[in-house]
Amino acid sequence: MKRSANENEFKNIMSRSAAIIKFRVLSGIAVLLVSAMLVSCENDMMAVIKLSSKDSIPDIAIKDVHVRQTENGKLTMELTAPKMISYQTRESYTEFPNGLRIVFYDSIMQPKSELTANYGISWDSRNTMSARGNVVVKNFQKFEQLNTESLFYDRNAKKVSTEEFVKITTLDRTILGKGMESDELFDNWVIKNVTGTIYVNEQQ
């Protein structure tokens, strides 16, 4: 009988120990789950804060934009875009998320060249602009066309440039290469690394 009582006591102790271990394991799992939920909530909250920050809220949003630039009373540039979004942050900038078209005029205010792209961004303080996505530049007077995917425009220097692949089509040839610099009217362009030239006679 004494042995049986000891065995029962031993079983009771083991049962209580198992229950304590089980409780601690479950408690540990619960702590981990709560911690994960708190981290997830914190991340979600940070995302909300980031989305609602001043930098992500435009100060100006305009549809069907039409802007003209003049110098000494003469029209030099004309910009049109389906939509313009302006952000007045520490470094103010303007986006053209649905594409843009810029026409440059010569000294007698005749259209000289044109730039179109799927997206554009203009940095006010730098007086620069970048165009991306199906960028096309045409020189109406020389019948030349540039095709590339990215183009940088420095309005102070009146220069355009890119480090991307370019294709320039003229009346008698098509030139392929990487990297290009030109004036804003696309009169004098230079391809940095020419990779191929196809003449009109070869294309026929």
pLDDT of 175 strictly over 70: yes
Do residues 122 and 152 make contact, with C-beta atoms less than 8 angstroms apart? no
Q: What is the mean pLDDT of residues 157-171?
A: 95
Same domain, 78 and 143: yes
Strand partners, 61: 85
- Going by pLDDT thresholds of 50, 70 and 90, the confidence category of residue 204 is low
| pLDDT-derived band at 66, boundaries 50, 70, 90 | very high
pLDDT of amino acid 191: 95
Query: Which has more pLDDT, 74 or 14?
Result: 74
Q: Is 95 in contact with 84 (CB distance < 8 Å)?
A: yes
Beta-carbon-side half-sphere exposure of residue 48 (alpha carbons within 13 Å)? 6
> Among positive and negative, which fits the CA dihedral 122, 155, 151, 202?
positive
134 and 87, same domain (yes or no): yes
Does residue 159 share a domain with residue 116?
yes
Domain of residue 4, residue span: 1-52
Please report the pLDDT score of residue 34 as a whole number.
34
CATH of the domain at 145: 2.60.450.10
Give the tokens for residue 9: 């006591």
Distance CA 148, CA 117 (A): 10
Does an H or E element contain 114, and which? strand 111-117
3-state secondary structure of 58: coil
Shared domain for 83 and 169, answered yes or no, is: yes
* Whether 103 and 28 share a structural domain: no
Q: What is the average per-residue pLDDT within 74-87?
A: 94
Residue 130, pLDDT score:
96
Q: Is residue 42 located within the same domain as residue 74?
A: no
Residues 25 and 79 in one domain: no
Name 174's Cβ contacts closer than 8 Å, sequence gap at least 6.
Answer: 167, 168, 197, 198, 203
Total domains in the fold of the chain:
2
Domain match, 19 and 73 both: no
Q: Is 45 found in the same domain as 119? A: no
Summarize pLDDT for 97-151 with one digit per residue, the tens.
Answer: 999 999 999 889 999 999 999 999 999 888 999 999 999 999 999 999 999 999 9
Domain check: are 38 and 64 in the same one? no
Residue 129 belongs to what H/E stretch? Answer: strand 128-139
Full-model pTM: 0.69
Q: Are both 80 and 95 inside the same structural domain?
A: yes
Residue 203: what pLDDT?
A: 54
- What pLDDT is attached to residue 90? 78
Q: Tell me, what's the pLDDT at 50? A: 39
Last residue of one domain, picked from the residues 37, 52, 67 = 52
| 88 and 132 in a common domain | yes
